Copies of this chain bind each other. A is one copy, B any other.
Amino acid sequence: MNSLEEVTDFVQNGHQEYLPHVTIDPVIFGYHDQQLRILLLKWKGLNGWGLPGGFIRRREPLSQAAHRVLNERTGLDDLFLQQFHVFGDSPYRLQERSAREFKENYGLEVSDDNWLFERTLSIGYFALVDYSKVSVTTDFFTEGYQWWDVKEIPPILFDQNETVDKALTTLRLQIYHQPIGYNLLPEKFTLPEIHTLYETILGKTLDQRNFAKKLVSLGLIKKLAEQRSIGPHRSPYLYQFEKEAYEDALKLGIVHTY
């Protein structure tokens, strides 16, 4: 939504096109050059930062809605968006909003029974991109955007600090069971490359020798016969994600092989 007319129509008639009570809130992690960041939008009117969220269309598949919402709010496309949690317990999620609050924030006159004033649940999705390789475009609700370092996340509007925390915990747990980062590394990578990626995502130092041994023994990566020449006397072996073997294992519901 980019014009005041579109937004006014959304506020007044949006309940005909969208399901009330449920929003989608994407947490976009950006990795580049040993930094892990999160994309936040500066909300117009609310004077604070938030996730690029939105509502689901009445007849729209949920996962398609997640992609559309992210695209409409940020211009980002073709990300691997993964659902991770529904939020419906926080004080914010139990509360309903008011016409007064709405008028103060956006200057829009609306009636007290507007569909946007009711309680919402929030479905969290996350994705991981190289933030140096994408460009962000924003919409009517947004004054600007910023990729925030995960170690310096500001207070976010609504209950979305909880959403970001849970996304980060989930990402860190899944890093050992899923080929996370396989779109952030070259198809064939060296141990130092994946080691740096994992250290950055986990936010801690990992013993390099044990790290590689574990990833191989968990079946997440495999050592190739190839080496990469990066200088005199320096030609480290290359590795590759075991994506297929991993996906087969996931279908059987088994990651570790006993």
Contacts and interface: CB of A to CB of B under 8 A. Distances in A.
Interface of A: 19-22, 56, 58-65, 83, 85-89, 93-94, 118-119, 121, 123, 168-169, 171-173, 176-177, 202, 204, 206-207, 210-211, 214, 218, 250-251, 253-256, 258
8 contacts: A19-B121, A60-B94, A61-B93, A63-B89, A83-B85, A172-B253, A207-B258, A214-B258
B256 A176 contact: yes
Contact of A86 (B64, B83, B171, B255): B83
Given A253-B168, A253-B202, A258-B206, A88 B61 contact: yes
Contacts of A85: 83
A210 B256 CA distance: 11
Nearest to A89: B61
A62 B88 contact: yes
Contact of A258 (B89, B119, B211, B253): B211
Nearest to A205: B258
Contacts of A173: 177, 250, 253, 255
A204 B35 CA distance: 41
Contact of A121 (B62, B64, B119): B62
Task: Name the 4 nearest CB pairs between A and B, nearest first.
Answer: A62-B88, A172-B253, A61-B89, A206-B258
Contacts of A255: 173, 176
A202 B59 CA distance: 36
Given A62-B89, A83-B85, A204-B254, 9 more contacts: A56-B88, A58-B118, A61-B89, A62-B86, A62-B87, A62-B121, A86-B86, A171-B253, A173-B255
Contact of A202 (B93, B210, B250, B254): B254
Given A86-B86, A202-B254, A258-B211, A94 B59 contact: yes
A105 to B, nearest CB: 23
Contact of A19 (B56, B119, B202, B258): B119
A65 B121 CA distance: 13
A69 B61 CA distance: 25
A134 to B, nearest CB: 25
A59 B210 contact: no
